[in-house]
């Protein structure tokens, strides 16, 4: 492995407690990298990874021509790449979104138990009942939802474009699912009445304003930037609120002396690599679901072509329309 690799920082790797083991036996990292590269070539496959997976997975992803980004960017990259198979290093709804965007490709998820508290908080049936209760009210669903929920949705959104999507509908009332905190943030930025669901991200809901105030006290001049999945008191205590990509851009453009990114711990580690002059103060909450994705599981998934994402043509067609409409409105 090249000494110049941006993912070589041992401190960052140890923070994530990267597991290079299988059946209790330690596996050599170079062996895993070499085996994954060979399997990708043999299976005509590409890895697409989320920002929250551990640094070694991001490293092998980029070294093999894959992509690291947010869930929508992952799906878009997957639909445009020329390989027949996609390995999704993320959680299940991300793999489903990739399948929606690439229905003719085989999409594999290294661990089918890699879920999401937001996605699991609501079902397609729940959405149908809401539509019966509020007839004619458009449904906007966060991309952090299952394909079944997307199939019952008028238009999807990301944390980056949620406000824009809601405003674009030109209506007085919207059903916004499933993140209650993101819904509250959207409501604060628009004049639209928001009917929300009580879903939350189990990582972002842990943050609070007392923690932020304590960090400010101990780090004068620090800039605090928060993800809109955080509770309102955290948003109000922050200097900037933005999506994953928005937070990355803020750090890159402003180069604060010190910054606290109020989001999943992996983000600070990964953004620090590209901003070495910025000191990151970390409130380290890790996503347990993302940590289910490991190098050995990726290799097993490739070798055995297991954990394929399967959906009916009807669900794919209906769910894909809500994603495509979001793309038409714009990011």
* CATH code of the domain in which 191 resides: 3.40.50.10800
Least confident window among 205-214, 223-232, 260-269: 260-269
CA separation for the pair 163, 186 (Å, rounded): 5
Determine the pLDDT at residue 273. 85
Asked if the structure places residue 328 within a domain, the reply is no
Considering the chain, what percentage of its residues have pLDDT values greater than 90? 82
Asked if the structure places residue 323 within a domain, the reply is no
Instruction: Tell me the average pLDDT across 304-323.
Output: 96
Instruction: Tell me the average pLDDT across 300-306.
Output: 94
Beta strands in the chain (DSSP E): 21-22, 25-26, 45-50, 67-69, 85-89, 106-108, 139-142, 155-157, 173-177, 193-196, 223-226, 240-241, 258-262, 279-280
Asked if the structure places residue 320 within a domain, the reply is no
Determine the pLDDT at residue 286. 86
Determine the pLDDT at residue 231. 97
77-95 as b/e: b if 16+ CB within 10 A: bbeebebebbbbbbbbbbb
Asked if the structure places residue 208 within a domain, the reply is yes
Residues in the chain: 331
Instruction: Tell me the average pLDDT across 256-285.
Output: 89
Asked if the structure places residue 237 within a domain, the reply is yes
The yes-or-no verdict on residue 36 having pLDDT over 80 is yes
The yes-or-no verdict on residue 239 having pLDDT over 50 is yes
208 and 264 belong to one structural domain = yes
Q: Which residues contact 326 (CB under 8 A, 6 or more apart)?
A: 155, 156, 157, 158, 161, 165
Torsion of CA 44, 55, 331, 194, to 10 degrees: 120
Asked if the structure places residue 86 within a domain, the reply is yes
Asked if the structure places residue 37 within a domain, the reply is yes
Output the six-digit token pair for 62: 């980029």
86 and 131 belong to one structural domain = no
Report yes or no: 223 and 239 within 8 Å, Cβ to Cβ: yes
- pTM attached to this predicted model: 0.87
Count of structural domains, the chain: 3
Domain range for 56 is: 10-114+289-304
The yes-or-no verdict on residue 15 having pLDDT over 60 is no
pLDDT band at 170 (very low <50, low <70, confident <90, very high): very high
Asked if the structure places residue 167 within a domain, the reply is yes
31 and 85 belong to one structural domain = yes
Determine the pLDDT at residue 27. 59
pLDDT band at 7 (very low <50, low <70, confident <90, very high): very low
Around Cβ 252, how many Cβ atoms within 10 Å? 12
Determine the pLDDT at residue 323. 94
Residue 190 vs residues 170, 234, 250: alpha-carbon distances, Å: 11, 19, 23
41 and 105 belong to one structural domain = yes
């Amino acid at each position: 492995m090249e000494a110049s690799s941006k993912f070589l920082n041992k401190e960052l790797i140890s923070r994530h407690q990267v597991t290079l083991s299988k059946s209790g036996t330690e596996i050599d990292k170079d062996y895993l990298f070499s085996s994954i590269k060979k399997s990708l070539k043999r299976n005509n496959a590409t890895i697409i990874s989320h920002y929250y997976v551990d640094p070694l997975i991001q490293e092998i992803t980029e070294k093999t021509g894959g992509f690291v980004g947010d869930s929508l960017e992952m799906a878009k990259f997957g639909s445009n790449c020329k390989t027949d198979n996609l390995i999704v290093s993320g959680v299940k709804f991300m793999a489903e979104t990739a399948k929606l965007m690439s229905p003719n490709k085989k999409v594999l998820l290294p661990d089918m138990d890699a879920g999401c508290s937001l996605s699991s908080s609501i079902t397609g049936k729940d959405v149908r009942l809401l539509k019966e209760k509020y007839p004619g009210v458009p449904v906007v669903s966060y991309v952090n939802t299952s394909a079944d929920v997307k199939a019952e949705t008028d238009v999807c959104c990301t944390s980056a474009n949620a406000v824009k999507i809601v405003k674009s509908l030109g209506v007085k009332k919207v059903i916004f699912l499933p993140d209650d905190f993101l819904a509250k943030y959207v409501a604060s930025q628009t004049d639209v009445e928001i009917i929300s669901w009580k879903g939350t991200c189990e990582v972002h809901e842990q943050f609070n304003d007392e923690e932020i105030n304590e960090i400010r006290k101990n780090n004068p001049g620090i800039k605090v930037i928060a993800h809109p999945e955080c509770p309102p008191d955290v948003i109000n205590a922050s200097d900037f609120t933005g999506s994953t990509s928005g937070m990355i851009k803020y750090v890159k453009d402003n180069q604060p002396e010190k910054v606290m990114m109020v989001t999943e711990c992996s983000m600070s580690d990964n953004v620090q690599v590209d901003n070495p002059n910025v000191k990151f103060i970390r409130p380290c909450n890790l996503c347990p679901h993302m940590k289910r994705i490991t190098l050995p599981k990726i290799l097993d998934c490739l070798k055995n072509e297991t954990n394929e994402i399967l959906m009916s043509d009807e669900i794919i067609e209906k769910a894909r329309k809500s994603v495509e409409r979001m793309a038409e409105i714009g990011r």
